[in-house]
Amino acid sequence: MKFRYQIFVFFVWTLIGCSPPIPNQPKEQALFQVSTIDALMQGVFDGSTTLAELAQKGDFGIGTFNALDGEMVFENGQFFQVKSDGKVYRPSVESLTPFASVVKFVPEDSVKVENLDYLKFQHLVDSLTGSPNYFYAIRLEGEFESVHTRSVPAQQKPYPELIVVTRQQPEFYISETKGKLTGFFCPEFVKGINITGYHLHFLSDDKLSGGHLLGFQLKSGMLMLDRISHFEMQLPESMAFQNSEFKTDRSEQVKQVEN
C-alpha cells in the first residue's frame, strides 16, 4: 500500500506541473579540523581560521588560539579561552586559531556515572564505543571532587616547538567544582594529523576555571557520546606550514605534550 501511495503522490505532483518533494535526508555530520598536530608540534602557531568560521562548522570542540595563547573550549556554540593565568575569557569571533577540532554535537548515547577518575573514564568509554576506529565527541558533565588542568602562555616569534613550551606550562588544581569536560577520541590512523586517543578540555560551570585536562576525580555526572564517521580538514597557507617537515614520527613527543 505504501508503494502505491508513493506512485499516486508522484502522479499528482506531475499532473499539476510541479516536482515532487524530496524526502528530508539526514545531514552528514563531520568533524572539522584546522591544521595538524604535527604542524603545531613544530611551532606553527599563527592562526589561520577565525572563530566565526569555526562556528559555521559546529557548536562543540576544542583547540588553541593565535600564538598558542591558551586553551579553547567551544560549548553550545560559545567560545571560551583559558589563558595561562588560569582565568577564563570570552574571545572575539574574529580571533584566530592555528589548531582546532569542532563538530555539531548530537549525542547518541548518555550514561549516568559516578566515582570516576581519568583512567576509569577511558575504560568506560572504550567499553561503550565498541570500536576504536571512529572519531567520538565526548562530553562529561557533573560534580567533580578535583580537576587537574594546564594552559599554555602566548608565544613570541620565532616560535619554539610545542614540547619546549609545555615544559614550562602553568598547571592548576581545581577542587569541589561543577563543570564539563569537552573533547574527542581520535583513532590511531590519524597519528600526526590529530591527537590519537583522548583529548579533553575542562570548563567550570561558573566560567572561572578550566584548561587542558590532565586528570580528574568525578563524584557523579552524565557522560554523552557522539560517534563521527566523516572528517574534514583545512590546512594553513602560511610559509611556516609550507616549510614544515612531516616525515618524522612525533607520536612520542605528542604523548609528552598531552600528559
d(C-alpha 5, C-alpha 257), whole Å: 60
Tell me the per-residue pLDDT of 79-107, one tens digit each, with 9 for 90 and over: 999 999 999 999 999 999 999 999 999 99
In the chain, the number of structural domains is 1
Of 200, 240, 244, 205, whose CA–CA distance to 224 is shortest?
Answer: 200
d(C-alpha 37, C-alpha 235), whole Å: 11
Q: Judge if pTM exceeds 0.75.
A: yes
Q: What is the pLDDT of residue 185?
A: 98
78: containing domain: 30-258
Domain assignment present for residue 174? The answer is yes
Tell me the per-residue pLDDT of 175-222, one tens digit each, with 9 for 90 and over: 999 999 999 999 999 999 999 999 999 999 999 999 999 999 999 999
Residue 65 one-letter amino acid:
F
Domain assignment present for residue 153? The answer is yes
Domain assignment present for residue 22? The answer is no
Q: Which residues contact 106 (CB under 8 A, 6 or more apart)?
A: 29, 226
Residue 232 φ/ψ, nearest 5 degrees: -135, 140
Helix ranges (DSSP H) in 160-237: 162-166
**Farthest-apart Cα atoms in the chain, separation:** 73
Domain assignment present for residue 144? The answer is yes
Domain assignment present for residue 54? The answer is yes
Tell me the per-residue pLDDT of 127-166, one tens digit each, with 9 for 90 and over: 999 899 999 999 999 999 999 999 999 999 999 999 999 9
Tell me, what CATH number does 34's domain have?
3.30.1330.80
Report the percent of the chain where pLDDT is more than 90. Answer: 86
The beta strand positions in 6-117, using DSSP E, are 30-34, 49-50, 60-64, 71-75, 78-82, 88-89, 96-97, 100-103, 109-117
CA dist list (Å): 61 to 39, 158, 253: 19, 28, 23
Domain assignment present for residue 175? The answer is yes
Domain assignment present for residue 12? The answer is no
Residue 83 φ/ψ, nearest 5 degrees: -90, 180
Residue 64 one-letter amino acid:
T
Own/partner long-range contacts of 164-167 (Cβ < 8 Å, ≥24 apart): 165/68, 166/256, 166/257
Of 224, 199, 227, 58, whose CA–CA distance to 135 is shortest?
Answer: 227
Average pLDDT over residues 108-115: 96
Domain assignment present for residue 1? The answer is no
Residue 24: CB atoms within 10 Å: 6
d(C-alpha 107, C-alpha 118), whole Å: 20
d(C-alpha 259, C-alpha 251), whole Å: 12
* Average pLDDT along the chain: 91
